[in-house]
Amino acid sequence: MSNIQAVENQKIQQDLLNVIRPSRRQRDYQQLALYKDVNPLDWEDWHWQLKHRIRTKEELAQIIKLTPEEEKGIDKAKGRLSIAITPYWATLIDPDDPNCPIRRQAVPVASESAVSPHEMTDPCAEDRDSPAPHLVHRYPDRVLLLATEHCAMYCRHCTRRRLVGEHEHQDADSVSRFDAAIEYIKSNRKVRDVLISGGDPLIMEDEEIESIVSRIRAISHVEFLRIGTRVPVTLPQRITEKLTNMLKKYSPIWMSIHFNHPKEIAKRCKIACDMLSDSGIPLGSQTVLLKGLNDRPYIMKKLMQELLQIRVRPYYIYQCDPVRGTQHFRTPVAVGINIVEKLRGHTSGYAVPTYVIDGPGGGGKIPVGPNYILSQAKGKYVLRNYKGKIYTYLE
Ligand SMILES: *Cc1c(COP(=O)(O)O)cnc(C)c1O
Ligand code: SF4
């Protein structure tokens, strides 16, 4: 073993022990001065969590020791993507480590206000492919419904930052705003799959979610219904029995949950995922590749393996879209390809998601990954396996 490799291995060991050990992921909220007197019933109440989100520099300074970079970031975030951190998410933050993956996803830094040449406001051109308000129709048989602009926590790397946040002009809270979108789905028999996303649809009240889900379920050609959410990770208290019982009525419903780092899989999150799985909702994950946060193969491997432990099937790893102000999060594409290389064959196939780049300008998700076909000629494929050994397959 080379010296460099030995040092690297040692570092990996250290990281796995210190950063990633499940028992160390979450602090008891009573340990945080700000929350020490909170009633446990309030803590478990998702409305309480939402109402008490951290929105200002002053509040944040009571949880973590802000760096000058972060202070600048917070000042500059005004009028851009809102800051909102649930008290629950705050218990996952390492107050002493500015590189804490939980912290970096929630606390803006100064580089967020820098705009790089390739960056766009709407990199996936969703607004262009929108046949009705709140609807994106890009692929032949499925549509994306943007049900709300709000989320429990605002991720600093958000692709839809043009839409999401706490705006002064809130949506009129009436479900009639989806009338045109529902009519469009009704009149397009090719649409057999509806993805309800946002923002985070699970931030809406049960009744409003039910009204949308039931209207879509009533359309006979819609076979597949799924919800994209981050709530089990950022606000697991939201997953209540009342919610899961309601969703059960519209089964089958699938769910894609946004997970970026093993530290997010804390005890409370597992409970939320268990409740969803137990009520018959198959769970998948979506992960954004983020520089310095989950761009090392062993961290991704740990994340994917732990997702399987909580019955979440890894679905996609996204290259971080060229959205304005996310340069500091973006890695070279080779980093993502190398991660897949280190997963495929080296661990359970179920733990290997598809790495995709959303084609800028509206190309949709394009899979990219290691190449296993070395050459192909008349009836003969020369292949390599995950160890680099070469095999010939004759047709
Ligand atoms: C991601 C996405 C979908 C769903 O794509 P799948 O690959 O089926 O998960 C549908 N519509 C839009 C616009 C999307 O971005
Ligand atoms: S939960 Fe999703 S939509 Fe909301 S801020 Fe995070 S990435 Fe954006």
Q: 330 an active-site residue?
A: no
Is 385 inside a domain boundary? Answer: no
Same domain, 74 and 153: no
Same domain, 50 and 168: no
Is 216 inside a domain boundary? Answer: yes
Please indicate whether residue 96 or residue 202 has the higher confidence score (pLDDT). 202
What pLDDT is attached to residue 4?
73
Quickly count helices (H) and strands (E) in the chain.
Answer: 14, 12
E-state strands within the chain: 135-139, 142-148, 193-198, 224-229, 253-258, 283-288, 312-318, 354-359, 364-367, 373-377, 380-384, 390-394
Same domain, 102 and 189: no
What pLDDT is attached to residue 78?
81
What pLDDT is attached to residue 392?
98
DSSP-derived secondary structure for 197-233: EES-GGGS-HHHHHHHHHHHHTSTT--EEEEEE-HHH
Same domain, 280 and 150: yes
Mean pLDDT of the chain: 93
Q: 151 an active-site residue?
A: yes
pLDDT (tens digit, 9 = 90+) per residue, 338-392?
A: 999 999 999 999 999 999 999 999 999 999 999 999 999 999 999 999 999 999 9
State percent of the chain over pLDDT 90.
85
139 lines ligand 1 (CB under 6 A): yes
For ligand 2, mutation pick of 85, 160, 167 (most atoms within 8 Å of CB): 160
Pairing assessment for the beta strands 373-377 and 283-288 based on DSSP bridges: unpaired
- Number of other CB atoms surrounding residue 237 within 10 Å: 22
Q: Is the peptide bond between 314 and the residue preceding it cis, with omega within 30 degrees of 0?
A: no
pLDDT (tens digit, 9 = 90+) per residue, 72-86?
A: 999 998 878 899 999
Domain range enclosing 216: 135-368
- Number of other CB atoms surrounding residue 198 within 10 Å: 24
Catalytic residue, chosen from 25, 104, 138, 330, is 138
Is 226 inside a domain boundary? Answer: yes
Same domain, 315 and 358: yes
Q: 358 an active-site residue?
A: yes
Catalytic residue, chosen from 53, 103, 156, 160, is 160
Same domain, 101 and 171: no
Distance CA 386, CA 381 (A): 16
Distance CA 287, CA 274 (A): 20
For residue 171, pLDDT over 70 is answered with: no
